[in-house]
Structure 1
């Protein structure tokens, strides 16, 4: 006969089955079962927190919980203290932590992954109630076999390393719980655990503190990339008309970001062709601040955040390659290219910047790197450690070889930093502008590589060498899930004990 398994809320009518299962589960702790008035009190206080698992309609296990304001109790508490000496007056519906006070499965029904179902139900409850995580005190019932050989810390480490099997702690590790602390006298009558317990913690990756429903940060972000055609615009006015056309077009799709390429204002250098290369680019740099102001106006008017590509700028007589983030709230930030290419240095005398930082937006934390910058993994790693979720890379490449260097390195940054990377480039040619003859690009949005993402790691891409826009949606929640549950977790698994990245530049 096939078994029917159900996860549901515990009811008062379940008590006799509950008592039988609990006495069997704790046969090594005589008399350890919840009395009926206590269970009824718990169900009245927090009914959705009391979860039963049934087999053929018989309760064979449960998970009992309360909500607490964890700061009131901290990490040094006993089971009696956290449960209010079994009165549960510690339960606070406005608290921030789901506290697990009981999980058990009848021994006759173990091996069916019933406890895992209970834990999954408890995690779902934690997420649904927007609590920051689950905390529980865990028994270590096999410790009595090793107490004369190992300290509790040594025992826990060996269980973690799978050298020792502990029926409770091994299960907790397999369910993504971390041991935060070793507790003494948590359950003084727990002889098999020698009075010790593990303070276990599971983090809710979806937790949002003090949610403001009006300004709530969206999880799905729409990105618009402009694959810009180089052409003769005759003057600044014609150039700005084309800029506004693309901002308008991308904003019509409801995009949150529009991204322009590196040095996409190079056609304006035609005005300065009578000068040498260094003089021509310094000439076009005089338009940069005016172009930025137009971008800022468009960001507000079209309700879209704009990565302005990059443009040359002169500051304190030095020439730099600068990109602006123009937010739709009317504020802006900037990023200066750190790694000028050899040709930028030799032809134009461009200097490298000395600052990297993550930018806050209404669609998450972003980073900006300009072309050659993305070919160096260390700065992107630093941005990732600061919480970057999307990396924007305006680029300008002349050949397919040069493009592939940017593309392949951008893909690597997405994988190793578990983030999205959006790259936007120029296409076409400028026969009347020195040092800007040919351009090759295939703009795209790149993703990490795991089951939740496209198998190619490409969310969307442009037709090579064609003026167009690319529109793509990226899901920031998938990044959180990847960080916590991915097949591999590169950010989490870095060997900080062996190596690290240190930023030495000015902050």
Structure 2
């Protein structure tokens, strides 16, 4: 099981945080985080439900992590193990994650696939997303997996879709000509783009595109 304590500064005050596996006792807070991250008009039925969360902690607890600060859960990240065929990279989020239920978890898989990452809006200036991603890299190495993989949204693409293809947009984000809230964040976490996927996720801002981004285990 995973547990890591570290310090960060919150409003100028040093605060200890704990990165750990989430458990059944955290479910209500995890759902509350989803509500804060995806408020109306985002449909509430697409927030985590307790059946999904139960699967996360039962099927692959190593991939169910959260950050706790002052006895409050402030962020979470969830992964699932899959077998990834790099010659056939295209897929949807739904296919890769079993719609978030992860019943497709493959204990013999070679890839840790990121299902979701959520940070309470009030705590988004603390680099918690990067801290959680680093924790998942630890899981990849400790589990002897080939890579961490996931599809990044492209929320800034709708502003450029009239002038750029999805691939051209990603190329300009990689070259720092354009900043994208998600892709730029993942690049700073050490993730590299593999390919752009059509109809990855229903997402108007991204025009339903996603970009697959990986981090390879340096010890494999």
The TM-score, its normalising length taken from structure 1, stands at 0.39
Instruction: Find 2:31's aligned residue among 16, 19, 23.
Output: 19
Question: Given the alignment of the two structures, is residue 195 of structure 1 paired with residue 213 of structure 2, yes or no?
Answer: no
1:76-111 deviations in whole A, cap 9, x for unaligned? 111111123444222111111111111121111011
Instruction: Find 1:41's aligned residue among 55, 63, 72.
Output: 55
Distance (whole Å) between structure 1 residues aligned to residue 115 and residue 134 of structure 2: 16
Distance (whole Å) between structure 2 residues aligned to residue 170 and residue 79 of structure 1: 20
Distance (whole Å) between structure 1 residues aligned to residue 204 and residue 41 of structure 2: 8
Determine helix, strand or coil for the equivalent of 1:135: strand
Question: Given the alignment of the two structures, is residue 119 of structure 1 paired with residue 128 of structure 2, yes or no?
Answer: no
Determine helix, strand or coil for the equivalent of 2:77: strand
Distance (whole Å) between structure 1 residues aligned to residue 146 and residue 215 of structure 2: 9
Q: Confirm or deny: 8 A CA contact 1:73 1:82 kept in the other structure.
A: no
* Structure 1, unpaired ranges of 5+: 208-507
CA RMSD of aligned residues (A): 1.8
Question: Given the alignment of the two structures, is residue 180 of structure 1 paired with residue 194 of structure 2, yes or no?
Answer: yes
1:72 CA displacement = 9.8
Determine helix, strand or coil for the equivalent of 1:4: strand
1:6-45 deviations in whole A, cap 9, x for unaligned? 1010111112221222222234770241111111112100
Distance (whole Å) between structure 2 residues aligned to residue 144 and residue 193 of structure 1: 6
Instruction: Find 1:10's aligned residue among 18, 22, 32.
Output: 22
Q: Confirm or deny: 8 A CA contact 2:100 2:115 kept in the other structure.
A: no
Distance (whole Å) between structure 2 residues aligned to residue 72 and residue 2 of structure 1: 43
1:74 CA displacement = 3.6
Equivalence map 1:386-405=2 (5 Å): none
Q: Confirm or deny: 8 A CA contact 1:4 1:57 kept in the other structure.
A: no
Question: Given the alignment of the two structures, is residue 77 of structure 1 paired with residue 87 of structure 2, yes or no?
Answer: no
Determine helix, strand or coil for the equivalent of 2:26: helix
* Structure 2, unpaired ranges of 5+: 1-12
| Counterpart for residue 271 of structure 1 | none
CA shift in 2, pair 1:157/1:142, >3 Å:
same
Instruction: Find 1:100's aligned residue among 114, 125, 145.
Output: 114
Distance (whole Å) between structure 1 residues aligned to residue 16 and residue 103 of structure 2: 36
Determine helix, strand or coil for the equivalent of 1:3: strand
| Counterpart for residue 152 of structure 2 | 138
Determine helix, strand or coil for the equivalent of 2:168: helix
Distance (whole Å) between structure 2 residues aligned to residue 163 and residue 192 of structure 1: 19
Distance (whole Å) between structure 2 residues aligned to residue 73 and residue 187 of structure 1: 21
Q: Confirm or deny: 8 A CA contact 2:51 2:101 kept in the other structure.
A: no
Q: Confirm or deny: 8 A CA contact 1:22 1:61 kept in the other structure.
A: no
Determine helix, strand or coil for the equivalent of 2:36: helix
Determine helix, strand or coil for the equivalent of 1:193: coil
